[in-house]
Structure 1
């Protein structure tokens, strides 16, 4: 089990939380690396079928810790800095390639790398109190961090993404929902339940099909339409060979609800 963040696994759902609520859950070098390694292991572990990245103490994540990360970065060599920025980017790659849906359940502060983690999730739920900001220009850096310039425009559009990435301003939960960043905004007391219910619905579905959906959603970014249609033909043909496809057919004939087993 991880030591630099909380992880609870029950009924196929892994619930992760950063565990420094007194500091609004900042990331450290260790938690970055451990999260990356944890997500990298998911394709080899059938026990986890969905991930909820939750909040803790009323906040999601305040980004990189000012004292534990930002300060040391100002003293590093270029080689060391590049190793760090590649490592943070590897967390996003690991989330994208983990093979299971990831749901961000964000309350309160969701900024910097925290906003990136939410962005890299497949589905996102917020509360009215959620404030999301890509703060990189506010600390003298570029907005192009951890894939933000590639992913954020695809979620909310080029102009809106450009505004957030240039200014570093906070996006309210209402804005985020209207712009398509948040799938849903719920009351703070309902956030945990909403995320767990969404995850449970995914776990009860055809999890091999979900893995293929996630794969195609991400791989088709760099494909032409013809390539994407052909890739989906192969993906769907593979899914048609699964037992879940047969189970769904038999259940339909019997006028019953299918019970999927992920194979």
Structure 2
């Protein structure tokens, strides 16, 4: 799959693109934007394809109608799952996990702008983003435990403890307890908390800052943040040495040098 970000029109979610920044929104605001089998799959395919869409420098995953997402749709997903056999269930859980892999592996930094309900899989998407900005009205719930499921869903047991710590993650995953915006900010889950009316401007301000930076170098940073999770320190230092040497061959590095010498602000072009 490959697409032109200017003309791309997904079937199961909203897409906007301007000045290198793509905005994604789930589009069922009357039901707090639940996910469906179709939106899971189309989101997965889109984030996979972003590897080859160089025009997109940053992705903002935004709320719609005052909520981020209520997670898997009770009628369109939960109901059918009850009647599936094990192989069908594995197909589904692997597909949802593939969405997380696609978000983590695409080269573009992903910013989640969280407002209102962010629950279940609707909390996993912000969790696996690179950065998270919240409104003062957000309510985050990893509520798998409340519906008789394990907290180990879509990478939660791997990613959430790395963000907020093992003890705090354990409490949220064992109990389904909600995380307030203030808790999320203090715990390091949210990078910023703002008033609801200022949420998108805060998210876009961050996105513009990243989009104006060295795009290729930012993609290398994201790659190393992912790859170094399971590296030894020696291996990680060697990997970073190689990554940095590659970045030193880019024109953006040369542009930054000449701008510094001229006492000017560098203008990066992503190559």
CA–CA distance in structure 2, aligned partners of residues 181 and 243 of structure 1? 34
Task: Measure, in 2, the Cα distance between the counterparts of 1:194 and 1:45.
Answer: 25
Match of 1:205 among 205, 213, 218: 213
Contiguous gaps of at least 5 residues in structure 2: 1-8
Which of the numbers 149, 158, 165 marks the counterpart of 1:150? Answer: 158
CA drift of 1:169 comes to: 1.0
Aligned to 1:30: 38
Equivalent residue number for residue 104 of structure 1: 112
> Residue 159 in 1 paired to residue 178 in 2?
no
- Aligned counterpart for 2:15 among listed residues 3, 7, 11: 7
Indicate which of 240, 246, 269 corresponds to 1:261: 269
Which residue of structure 2 lines up, in the alignment, with residue 250 of structure 1? 258
Distance (Å, rounded) in 1 between the aligned partners of 2:183 and 2:172:
12
| 2:193 aligned with 1:171 | no
Q: TM-score, normalised by structure 1?
A: 1.00
Alignment equivalent of 1:50, drawn from 51, 58, 62: 58
Runs of 4+ in 1 over 2 A off after TM superposition: none
Shift of 1:138: 0.5
Which residues in structure 2 correspond to 1:71-86 (within 5 Å)?
71-86=79-94
SS in 1 for 2:60: strand
Distance in 1, Cα, partners of 2:75 & 2:177: 22
1:88 corresponds, among 85, 96, 101, to: 96
Q: Deviations over 1:192-212 (max 9, x none)?
A: 101111111111000001000
Q: Which residue is equivalent to 2:228?
A: 220
- Measure the CA separation in 1 of the matches of 2:26 and 2:54: 23
Give the Cα–Cα distance (whole angstroms) in 2 for the partners of residues 224 and 46 of structure 1.
Answer: 31
Q: CA RMSD in A?
A: 0.4
Q: How high is the TM-score relative to the length of structure 2?
A: 0.97
**Which whole-Å CA distance do the structure 1 matches of 2:208 and 2:10 have between them?**
23
Q: When the two structures are aligned, how many residues end up with a matched partner?
A: 263
Structure 1 match to 2:136 = 128
Q: What pairs with 1:181-192 in structure 2 (closer than 5 Å)?
A: 181-192=189-200
